[in-house]
Amino acid sequence: MTTLHLPPDAAPAAPDDLSVWPASAARASGGGLSVAGVALTEIAERFGTPAYVLDEREIRERCRRYRRAFPDADVLYAAKAFLCRAVVRWIDEEGLGLDVCSAGELELAVTAGFPPERITLHGNAKSPHDLDAALRLGVGRVVIDSASEIARLAAAIGPRGTQRVMVRITPGIAAGAHEKIRTGTDDQKFGLSLTDGSAQHAIARILAQPQLELTGPHCHLGSQITSVKPYLAAVRRMVGLIARVRDTHGVVLPELDMGGGHGVAYRPGEAALDLGALADRMRTELAGSCAAARLPVPRLTVEPGRAVVGPAGVALYRVLAVKRTDERVFVAVDGGMSDNPRPALYGVRYAPRLIGRRSSAPPGRVTVVGRHCEAGDVLAADVDLPADVRAGDLLGVPVAGAYHLSMASGYNLVGRPPVVAVADAHARLLVRRESLDDVRARDVGL
C-alpha cells in the first residue's frame, strides 16, 4: 500500500475531498454520498442516528494488504480497535490471527468460531478470569506483562500443563501521536523495562518455569505512529535482547512480535504510515541485525488494528441544533463522547461532511459538539461546513471504524449506536442499537 505523504504546509483539501473515506465512497446527486453502493441517507433513515457504517470489502482488502506486505510473518488483528462476530468471521476468512486483551474479547471470538490457537492474549493487568479463560480455551500465546504474572500463570496451568508465552518489553522508545498513547517509553504501566533490567530478570524467571514455554519478546510502541524509524530502532533493541538471552541462558527465541500502532490519516493531507515501507525496512533491519548477532531470523508478528478497521468506518449523526455566539458556531448532534470519547481523551481531529443535500453556501468555521453534559464533549473543533448548516442535516464522519464503539460508554443512558455493514449495494445490521430495555435489564436493584 503506497501512502502519499504531504508536507506540513500542504494546501488544505478541497471540500469535496474523499481521500480519507472508504475507497467505495462515491458522490451522488443532490449532495448525497454512498459507501459500497448504499446511500448513507438510506442507512440513516433505516437504522436511525447516530449509527456506524462498516465497509466490509474495505476491511477485507486491508487485511489482504497486510498479508501481501508481510507474506512470511503472522498478522494479528488487534481486537481492541473494534470487535463483533461479523468482524471475527471476516478476519478469520482473510487468514489473520487475533490479539485480544480480555476474557470478553477472547470468548466472543471463540464462540464466533475463531480458532483459539491463532489468538494471543495480552494486557497489563490480567484478571484470574482472563487467565482462566485463556487456558480453558487454549489460546496460542499469553503475553506476560509483569513479574507477578509469571507465578500466577504457572500456578493456574498446574504441574503437568504448558502454555506458550511471550514477554512484553518496554524498549525506551517514544513513538505515537499523543503522550496518552505512547507505550514504548519507560515509566509507564506497560511491559518490563530493558533499562532497569526488569525484562531480563523476568525472562530468567520464565525460563525457570517448566509450565511456560517462552517463544520471544513482544514490543508495542504506541498508537498512531506514522514514521518507520521507531520500529527499526525497536527491532534492533529486541534482537539485542534475543542475543543476550542466547548468551546468558543458551536459549534461542524463535519469535518476535513487534505489535501495531500503525497510523492512519483522519483528515485529508495528514500523514499515514506507509505499509510497504514499513514491511520492507523492518524485514531488512531484522535480517541485518540478526546476521550481525549471528542469530537465525525469528518469526515476525505484527498487530494492526486501527489500520485495518479505522478507515473502513463512517459515523452518521443528525444535527439537532445550531448555536451562534460572538466567537463560535456550535453544531450540536445526536451523539457525542458516549460513542466517541477520543477527541476528549487525546484531541483527535476529524473532517465531518454534510451529506444528504447539496448546499451552495460558502464554508463556515464551526465546532461540532455532542449532546452530553460536558463542556469537553466536542467531536470536531474548528472545521468547515456549509454556512447554512441547520437542524435536521445529516453529517458523516470518516475514519470512524476504530476506537469509537469499542470505547463507547453508557453516559447519560443515551444507548450505544448500532453498527451496519455495507457490501455490494446492500446494508445489514451487525450490532443493534442499545435500548432502554437493555439498561433496565442490567439494573436489578429494585
pLDDT (tens digit per residue) in 208-219: 999 999 999 999
Find the mean pLDDT for residues 246-252. 97
Q: What share of the chain has pLDDT > 90, as a percent?
A: 84
Cα–Cα distance, 94 to 303 (Å, whole number): 14
Instruction: Rank 4-8, 181-185, 195-199, 267-271 by mean pLDDT and report only the highest.
Output: 267-271
Residues 426-446 have pLDDT tens digits of 999 999 999 999 999 999 987
Confidence check: pLDDT of 206 > 80: yes
Find the mean pLDDT for residues 41-64. 98
Find the mean pLDDT for residues 404-432. 96
Check residue 1 and give its pLDDT: 36
> How wide is the angle at C-alpha 109 spanned by C-alphas 157 and 116, nearest 5°?
40
Q: What share of the chain has pLDDT > 70, as a percent?
A: 93
Cα–Cα distance, 269 to 14 (Å, whole number): 10
Residues 144-159 have pLDDT tens digits of 999 999 999 999 999 8
Check residue 67 and give its pLDDT: 98
Check residue 407 and give its pLDDT: 94
Strand partners, 319: 333
Q: Cis ω on the peptide bond leading into residue 50 (within 30° of 0)? A: yes
Query: Which triple of cell numbers denotes residue 423?
Result: 457490501
Find the mean pLDDT for residues 335-343. 95
Q: For each of the domains in the chain, give its residue range(s) and CATH number, in order of start.
A: 26-54+311-442 (2.40.37.10), 56-309 (3.20.20.10)
Decide: 43 and 366 in contact? Cβ < 8 Å.
no
Cα–Cα distance, 111 to 373 (Å, whole number): 38
Q: Which of 84, 101, 219, 373 is catalytic?
A: 373
Question: pLDDT grade, residue 175 (50/70/90)?
Answer: low
259: left (phi over 0), alpha (psi -120 to 50) or beta: left
Find the mean pLDDT for residues 251-260. 97
Check residue 3 and give its pLDDT: 37
Cα–Cα distance, 264 to 389 (Å, whole number): 28
Say whether 84 is catalytic. Answer: no
Find the mean pLDDT for residues 285-313. 98
C-alpha distances out from residue 131 to 109, 119, 123, 145, 204, Å: 16, 13, 11, 12, 21
Find the mean pLDDT for residues 401-417. 94
Question: pLDDT grade, residue 294 (50/70/90)?
Answer: very high
Confidence check: pLDDT of 277 > 90: yes
Check residue 177 and give its pLDDT: 53
Cα–Cα distance, 344 to 336 (Å, whole number): 10
CA-nearest of 136, 103, 104, 99 to 118 is: 99
Residues 101-133 have pLDDT tens digits of 999 999 999 999 999 999 999 988 899 999 999
Cα–Cα distance, 129 to 122 (Å, whole number): 13
Check residue 184 and give its pLDDT: 43
Confidence check: pLDDT of 371 > 80: yes
Cα–Cα distance, 63 to 189 (Å, whole number): 30
Check residue 189 and give its pLDDT: 63
C-alpha distances out from residue 8 to 122, 224, 252, 271, 303, Å: 36, 17, 44, 9, 28
Confidence check: pLDDT of 304 > 60: yes
Cα–Cα distance, 141 to 117 (Å, whole number): 8
Cα–Cα distance, 13 to 265 (Å, whole number): 13
Cα–Cα distance, 331 to 388 (Å, whole number): 11
